[in-house]
Amino acid sequence: MNHIIKERINEAVEVICQDIQEETCQKNWIKISDEEILFELVLSILGSQNKYEIALAFAQEIKDKNLLSNDFHINNINIMESRLYHILITPLKISDSMIKYRFPKTRAKYISENLVFLQEHIGVKNLLSKFESTNKTRQYIVKNIKGIGPKQASHFLRNIGFSNNIAILDVHILRYMNIQEVISEEYKSISNLKLYEKVEKQLIKFLEFMMVPIGFIDQAIWIVMRVYQKEYKQWQ
């Protein structure tokens, strides 16, 4: 890869990263409600292999039906799954189009089982408070929460303000790492948690020169790499 292109990418990342730092208003998971935390968890589950705006619309619909409310008590997991499935198979108007959600049956099952599991632990916030490190928390989520892999778990923990020192290794971030020769293989995604943690450490170490939490930097990389992918020839 052309050395000049690598430099141009990093220069763009640094500029955008500064803007993101100034504009980002981070949540604090301790101060927000259980319902808001559950909303972010559902959004992360629905976002897997789906566009963000579609996942967001259906997550909001689930919230609007009060299925994430503290006042909603789950007496029967099958009833919960049925209600979620009905929401997910009903098309929603998104960007002037009526859109169906992909994988409604599987995701309804995952979400209902997770809600019951978390209720048994007296709430998601109570569960999160038991862990002493971000990595331990993420490991537990990947192992015990249905429909959540390393990337989704990282997204969830970032979105609730649990930690800003973990990376969301999506295809754009992994492509950036390949271009910068941080990794030799161009992964599409990483579902194995041990490999995810290894690659994440490589990225954090490589970006130490920016002296900014990885949570801000990878957002900037995501923006830059999307532009780069569309306008590749102009960068040469």
* Catalytic residue IDs: 151, 170
> Tokens at residue 224, please?
């830059």
State the DSSP string of 61-123. HHHHTTTTSTT---S-HHHHHHHHHHHHHS-EEETTEEEPPSSHHHHHHHHHHHHHHHHHTT-
- Give dist(CA 159, CA 121) in Å, integer: 21
Q: Which residues of 141-155 are buried (b: 16+ CB within 10 A; e: fewer)?
A: bbeebebbbbbbbbb
If one counts every other C-beta atom within 10 angstroms of the C-beta of residue 50, the result is 17
2 membership: H or E segment, kind and range: none
- Start-to-end CA distance of the chain, whole Å, equals 10
> Tokens at residue 156, please?
């969830």
Q: What secondary structure letter does DSSP report for 146? A: T
